[in-house]
Structure 1
Amino acid sequence: MTKKLLTGALLAAVVLLAAAWGLAPVLTGQALIRAARAGDAQKLEQLVDFPALRDSLKDELQQELVRRVGDDPRLAERGLGALGMMLAPMILEGAVDAVVTPEVLARMVNTAEAPDPTRPAPPEPGDAKDGRDIHQAWGYRDLNHFAVTLTDRDHPDQHLALILERRGLFRWQLAAIDLQSEGN
């Protein structure tokens, strides 16, 4: 009887541990969205690895810039494309460092839009959506990366994926942004 009880308790502990391990990024993602909607900058500071997030956003924006320059042959023909491509990393670096703050992250989550580093001014107070028309999709990318993909129902071809990274056994932090558009 005690052997069956011990085996049952051990099995229950393993199941609970596996459930906690698998649900940890979902709970973190929900906490991130609640903090963003509430404008809780202190909670966002805990849930986000801002240096990693800024690096990710710089990479995403540089890739988008390269894509746009490649799509517009007029820029390449005039030589402005090459000059722009040389200057873009420096400009993006400073702009992203200045723009990616808890407040801007909250706006990103509430609107499913990445910040525009060419427009560092904060949005107008009534400009942000309340999140009701934002579709959320949740899923693992691999064992250490979990994506919360946000899509504004008014712009279903554009997606913003918040990439949570595992930081230990049960702890997760937002560490990357994946800007997605259909056709990219």
Structure 2
Amino acid sequence: MKKIAIGLAAAIMGLALVACFVSPFVAAQGLIRAARTGDAAGLERYVDFPAFRTSLKAELNARASQEIRDRAKGDTGLAALGMLLAPTLVEGAVDGFVTPQGVAAMVRSAETPKPEKPVPASDTPATPKDRLHQSWAYRGINRFAVTLTREDRPDDALVLIMERRGPLSWKLAGVDLTPDPMD
């Protein structure tokens, strides 16, 4: 009887570990499916909108700052003015963009947001499944990256960051616009 109880406990623990490992893959596919079908309620289940807004603002501000420094080429006055204006422009655009329709358009098109154009059109068509490459990677025990790459733009990957919100629950909480190739 004792062997059966130990075996049953081990089986349950094994199933729990497998479920914990597989859960971000299932959530990522649910997010992509909800985006492709325009299921706003489904997107609400898979996206932490406040966290996603914060992450997107930080990433776009960092990218805008880098572009301003690169374009100013030593003109510190112009760079300073750009650095003052960029966060305000990015904040307004991101606040308007991070909606179920906006997130769905970004995921459907697999387009990386840019500081000058962070908002894809809400009627953006979905990239055909056979032209969209998906890859996944853990970035820690509570972070999971979903990388979407279009066949026609292999160097422009959209990296979505999902975070654990419970033992088996994951939500889109960020975007990585400057992925580290070592991640």
Deviation at 1:103, TM superposition (A): 1.2
For structure 2, list consecutive stretches of 5 or more residues without a partner in the other structure: none
Looking at structure 2, the residues matched to 102 and 22 of structure 1 have their Cα atoms a distance apart, in angstroms, of: 27
Partner Cα separation in structure 1 for residue 14 and residue 106 of structure 2: 36
Shift in alpha-carbon separation, 1:120–1:7, aligned structure 2, 3 A: closer
Is 2:57–2:91's contact at 8 Å kept on the other side of the alignment? yes
Aligned to 1:145: 143
Decide whether the 8 Å contact of 2:165 with 2:171 is kept in 1: yes
Cα drift, residue 119 of structure 1: 4.9
Q: Where does 1:79-98 land on structure 2 (aligned, <5 Å)?
A: 79-98=77-96
Take 1:182 and 1:153, find their aligned partners in 2: how far apart are those partners? 20
CA deviation digits over 1:77-115, x for unaligned, max 9?
A: 272221111111112111100012111211211221134
- Determine the C-alpha separation between the residues in 2 that align with 1:109 and 1:102: 11
SS at match of 2:177: strand
Q: Normalising to structure 1: TM-score of the pair?
A: 0.88
CA contact (8 A) 1:24 1:172 kept: yes
Q: How far did residue 44 of structure 1 move?
A: 0.2
Partner Cα separation in structure 2 for residue 12 and residue 166 of structure 1: 24
Number of corresponding residues: 181
Identity %: 47
Cα 1:27–1:110 change in 2 (3 A) is same
TM-score (structure 2 length as normaliser)? 0.89
Whole-Å Cα distance in 2 between the matches of residues 117 and 96 of structure 1? Answer: 10
Q: Distance in 1 between matches of 2:129 and 2:178?
A: 19
Q: CA deviation at 1:57?
A: 0.4
Amino acid at match of 1:55: T
CA contact (8 A) 2:148 2:158 kept: yes
Q: Which moved more, 1:42-51 or 1:114-123?
A: 114-123
Computed over aligned residues only, the root mean square deviation of the Cα atoms, in angstroms, reads: 2.2
The letter of the residue matching 1:107 is A
Q: Trace 1:16-165 onto structure 2 (pairs within 5 A).
A: 16-74=15-73, 76-77=74-75, 79-116=77-114, 118-119=116-117, 123=121, 125=123, 127-165=125-163
How many Å separate the matches in 1 of 2:140 and 2:118? 34
